Amino acid sequence: MAGGARVIEGQPTARDMLREVHKAVRDLNTDHRLTVTLALVVVGDDANTLRLIENKKARAEEAGLRTQLYTLPADTTDAEVITVIDGLNHDDAVHGILVQHYLPRYRDARRLIEAIAPSKDVDGFHTSNAGLLANDAPAFVPCEALAGIHLLKTVVESRPVGWHAVVVGDTHRTGRPAARLLLNERCTVTVANEDTRDLAEVCRQADILVAATNRAGMIRTRHVKPGAAVIDLGRSRVTVNDELRIVGDVRFDEVREVAGWITPVPGGVGPVAIAMLMRNVVTACRRQNRLDEKARHG
């Protein structure tokens, strides 16, 4: 029997969370005649992007949400896309909005994201939500970061106050929001990036190591302090023996030998992130209708 680490499986947590979402959706319908609704906007006809959005749509429906899918051709102008988004912003029957695209003309999707009403930005990418999180105020938080820290908190006693967390990777969508969540948990937080010197030495200080680089298998045994909690937010497609596989940033088989806890990829953060997204839609619906909410973040 190999490995000292306890593996933090995402499926049980995701299942519980989706069950709660399902119940909340039913209750909102019964008690308030609300039909929790997620609108998905996709621009362009990239096959991967379409598959991704179809998958999110299917998962939302499994969770009991109503969905609306808008597929816009690749030659739709930005102004036209924003008109669609704006219509959804003003539609009280729509509670959450996702925008997905894969077009060279968007180096990043900033302009489209900023067009989404912050109160419907269930991805948590809007500047206002980044600012709210930065100020430790109730915000929608990007789901991978939220899922990673949530999984962490299922295994550490109460809150990880005073723990040293090292986040490897400083992207706006995963590393930075994860660091903000950990700061709000009152951890000591280090953010490392591609320019970090002695990365292994920095990482070995971590009681909590969060990998958010999307560089397959870059975190090795030498990066991990014995007993640390290792949370893998990475996701890359690699071909192993002619077979396409999804792998994380962490070399699971070797790192599990030293870590105290470790999330696998797939089956760790991924399923919880999807469940978090659905929970964000429920939270959005509650907030828009000024109903009680339990969750502080998303």
**What are the residue numbers of the active site?**
56, 100, 123
Burial of 187 (0-12, 13-18, 19+ CB in 10 A): buried
Distance CA 161, CA 207 (A): 11
CA distances from 242 to 68, 238, 245, 246, 247 (A): 37, 9, 9, 13, 15
Taking the least distance from each CB to a second copy, the nearer of 21 and 133 is 133
Nearer to a second copy by C-beta: 60 or 181? Answer: 181
CA angle (187, 151, 155) in 5-degree steps: 75
Instruction: Tell me the closest approach of the beta carbon of residue 161 to a second copy, in angstroms.
Output: 5
DSSP 266: S
Residues of the shown chain interacting with a second copy in the complex, contacts defined by CB under 8 A: 110, 126-137, 161-162, 164, 170, 172, 176, 180, 183, 186-193, 195-197, 202
Give least dist CB 175 to a second copy, A: 10
CB of 133 to a second copy, least distance (A): 8
CB closer to a second copy, 110 vs 222: 110
Residue of 148, 139, 138, 143 whose CA lies nearest to 182: 148
Beta-ladder partners of 67: 38
In the complex, minimum distance from the CB of residue 132 to a second copy, in angstroms, rounded to a whole number: 6
Nearer to a second copy, 155 or 202 (CB): 202
User: What is the distance between the alpha carbons of residues 80 and 209, in angstroms, rounded to a whole number?
Assistant: 42
